[in-house]
């Protein structure tokens, strides 16, 4: 069942979204050679708590950290540890904040120092594919209209979209209905209506879209060892343009 939010609930989600976006921005500012992923995770945790919220991911289905920090060929769910970031790495940070009974969920991929032109293109295409999807995140369209727009843009730029993991509804639960794939034919799935809140999150690979999950049951990597990037925001469907809820207050 798809949850449709009231205006009061959307206001709470705006606050949760701002906190999540602030944590994402903080993490991004820390991505540089010599920093460990564990240091970034601690900063994310402390920031979210300082805002009166709880990290959505911490202990979620047993996940041991406050952020997912995925480096290079890690697609999603990278567990922070003592890994030291190096010049040329690309680092995806996925964070969530739970405030007032609702979640905000967002992600982005950041360059660690100077990176290759191909890595820069991968990050840029992944982010822009989200905004291509947003053109269809409007009342009256269907979920797969977003999916098709993301896939079309990504593949036109020579990359592939992950099939095994998808976006999702978000609200009182971190993962709600409907699923929001980043691929597929248009005109399918639930029709978008005002008050729906969804996390749209393209996961884009440099090579094949095939991925595998490591023995820790979390860390997901590309099967060919090539790079992967991730970009996500929590979005509310309105009477007009979609509203991105995971934005910092300065924006």
Per-residue pLDDT 10s for the chain (251 aa) are 999 999 999 999 999 999 999 999 999 999 999 999 999 999 999 999 999 999 999 999 999 999 999 999 999 999 999 999 999 999 999 999 999 999 999 999 999 999 999 999 999 999 999 999 999 999 999 999 999 999 999 999 999 999 999 999 999 999 999 999 999 999 999 999 999 999 999 999 999 999 999 999 999 999 999 999 999 999 999 999 999 999 986 43
Number of neighbouring beta carbons within 10 Å of residue 232: 26
Whichever domain contains 122, its CATH number is 3.90.230.10
SS3 90: strand
Residue 88 domain flag: yes
DSSP state of 43: H
Residue 2 domain flag: no
154 vs 150: CA distance, rounded Å:
6
Residue 17 domain flag: yes
Residue 167 domain flag: yes
At 230 the pLDDT is 98
At 72 the pLDDT is 98
Residue 108 domain flag: yes
Range of the domain at 49: 7-244
Residue 1 domain flag: no
Cβ-contact 241, 157 below 8 angstroms:
no
At 249 the pLDDT is 65
246 vs 108: CA distance, rounded Å:
11
Number of domains in the chain: 1
Residue 68 domain flag: yes
At 209 the pLDDT is 98
At 251 the pLDDT is 36
Cβ-contact 18, 233 below 8 angstroms:
no
45 vs 48: CA distance, rounded Å:
5
Residue 251 domain flag: no
Cβ-contact 170, 197 below 8 angstroms:
yes
């Amino acid at each position: 069942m798809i949850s449709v939010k009231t205006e009061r609930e959307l206001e709470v989600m705006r606050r949760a979204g701002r906190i999540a976006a602030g944590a994402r921005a903080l993490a991004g500012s820390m991505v540089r050679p010599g920093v460990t992923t564990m240091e970034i995770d601690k900063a994310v945790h402390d920031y979210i708590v300082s805002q009166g919220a709880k990290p959505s991911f911490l202990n979620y289905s047993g996940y041991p950290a406050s952020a997912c920090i995925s480096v290079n060929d890690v697609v999603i769910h990278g567990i922070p540890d003592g890994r030291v970031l190096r010049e040329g790495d690309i680092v995806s940070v996925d964070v969530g904040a739970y405030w007032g009974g609702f979640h905000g969920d967002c992600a982005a991929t950041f360059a660690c120092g100077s990176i290759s032109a191909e890595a820069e293109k991968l990050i840029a295409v992944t982010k822009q594919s989200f905004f291509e999807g947003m053109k269809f995140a409007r009342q009256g369209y269907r979920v797969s209209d977003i999916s098709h727009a993301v896939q079309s843009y990504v593949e036109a730029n020579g990359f592939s979209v992950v099939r095994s993991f998808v976006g999702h509804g978000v609200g009182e639960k971190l993962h709600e209905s409907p699923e929001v794939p980043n691929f597929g034919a248009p005109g399918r799935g639930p029709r978008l209506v005002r008050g729906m809140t969804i996390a749209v999150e393209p996961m884009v690979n440099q090579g094949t879209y095939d991925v595998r999950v490591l023995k820790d049951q979390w860390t997901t990597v590309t099967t060919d060892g090539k790079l992967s990037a991730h970009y996500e925001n929590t979005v509310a469907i309105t009477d007009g343009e979609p509203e991105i809820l995971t934005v910092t207050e300065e924006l």
